[in-house]
Amino acid sequence: MVNYDGFGPEKIVHVYNPKTGMRGFLVVDNSALGPGKGGIRMTPTVSEDEVLRLARTMTWKCALADLPFGGAKAGIIADDKQMSKQSKKEIVEAFSRSLKEISPAKYIAAPDMNMGEEEMGWYVKANGDNRSATGKPRKLKGLPHELGSTGFGVFIASKIAAEHKNIDLKKASVAIEGFGNVGSFAAKYFFEHGSRLIAVSDSKGMAYDKKGIDFGKLTGVKRNTGSVVNYGSSNFKNCSDILKVDADILITAAKPDLISAGDADSLKFKVIVEGSNIPMTPDVEEILHKKGILVVPDFVANAGGVISSYVEYTGGDEKKMFKLIEEKISRNTKLVLEISSKNKESPRESALVIAKERVLKKCDFCRV
């Protein structure tokens, strides 16, 4: 059952196209600050509840990043690994056409799981309005998420969090869950900074080396074999083994609901930075906060993608994008952690207060 809590959701749209078999939905959570912004997730298991939670995260993410966007998210129920590229294109195009009445007026799409710059190109062409999506190919005046905007922002948030916990990032050990767009770029920036990558996972398992993983070699292994698990002689065949690693910092960058309350007592991390959306519930974050583990919430840490979207939407370039991501995420992470320490509350509680205040100032239909 949908929880209408005074902020949203404003609109839930279910769409179906019998010719292509396309089934999907869109949730516009809140548009007080502007049109709802959020990616399209394509998986065989994506659910309305998952998209509702992600859309709310986008409301807070855009508000905290101080952007003129509301929160939204979309899902297409499909397994692109079991279809041809042409079939996927037809499904994306059908989904786009089904939303023309509200996109881009109330919804601006973006990449998410199994949806990249090429798919955003299909989306805008089917929609007929180049403003209907961001993360498009360069030829469509886009700033592709393949530039690594989210992973860069996660690294910046991690730098601030490490400083807050008096951790020397150049000497820190780092574990990264997920080696897709977000995780691979985060790993790149940590490696270049001098941090010690000791564990990296993907859907097939985990690469582990206490002495340090070479990022270049790992990238080659992933590209040539399809999984990081083939790096060296790893015995870790389960991606969830990443939670057993003893490292200073964990970056979550793939699975929702990765960490449960039952994991709390065994975690050895000092800092967890949520590069993925909803990797744990707020209740689990609260448990970890009381244990002394610093958790930087998803809508604080992984806002690089939506900041990049804003730069693209306003006609900015790649240089401006990276500069704005560093400025905004540095400032917002510092602010949230300072308030959290002062008020002796979790970072999520502090960040939510800031985000809610910004939405309420512009919202004539919200209630508290």
Residue 233 DSSP class: S
Class of the CATH domain delimited by 11-142: alpha beta
pTM exceeds 0.85: yes
Could you give the CA distance from residue 356 to residue 85 in angstroms, rounded to a whole number? 41
pLDDT of residue 235: 66
Contacts of 286 (CB under 8 A, 6+ apart): 346, 348
Classify strands 11-17 and 22-30 as parallel, antiparallel or unpaired: antiparallel
Same fold, 11-142 and 149-357: yes
CATH classification for the domain delimited by 149-357, as one of 3.40.50.720, 3.90.1640.10, 3.30.1300.10, 1.10.3720.10:
3.40.50.720
Pairwise CA distance, residues 335 & 199, whole Å: 30
Report how far apart, in Å, the C-alpha atoms of 203 and of each of 47, 107, 174, 229, 292 are: 20, 31, 18, 9, 29
Q: What is the pLDDT of residue 144?
A: 83
Kindly give, in sequence order, each residue whose CB lies less than 8 Å from that of residue 239, ignoring residues fewer than 6 positions away. 177, 201, 202, 203, 204, 205, 206, 254, 255
**Residue ranges per domain, the chain?**
11-142, 149-357
What pLDDT score was predicted for residue 239?
Answer: 81
Residue with tokens 């993360």: 135
pLDDT the model gives residue 2: 64
> Beta strand pairing status for 196-202 and 205-208?
antiparallel
Instruction: Please identify every residue annotated as catalytic.
Output: 73
Instruction: Tell me the Cα Rg of the chain.
Output: 20
Spatial separation of the C-alpha atoms in residues 57 and 306, rounded to whole Å: 12
DSSP for 302-316 reads: TTHHHHHHHHHHTT-
- Per-residue pLDDT 10s for the chain (368 aa) are 566 678 889 999 999 999 999 999 999 999 999 999 999 999 999 999 999 999 999 999 999 999 999 999 999 999 999 999 999 999 999 999 999 999 999 999 999 989 999 999 999 999 999 999 999 999 999 998 778 999 999 999 999 999 999 999 999 999 999 999 999 999 999 999 999 999 999 999 999 999 999 999 999 999 999 999 999 766 677 888 999 999 999 999 998 899 999 999 999 999 999 999 889 999 999 999 999 999 999 999 999 999 999 999 999 999 999 999 999 999 999 999 999 999 999 999 999 999 999 999 998 877 76
CA dist 61 and 352 (Å) reads: 10
Give the pLDDT confidence score for residue 16 in this predicted structure.
98
- Contact between 58 and 73 under an 8 Å Cβ cutoff? The reply is yes
Query: Can you list the alpha helix ranges (DSSP code H) found in the chain?
Result: 48-64, 85-98, 117-127, 149-164, 181-193, 215-225, 282-291, 298-301, 304-313, 318-343, 347-362
Q: What is the pLDDT of residue 6?
A: 81
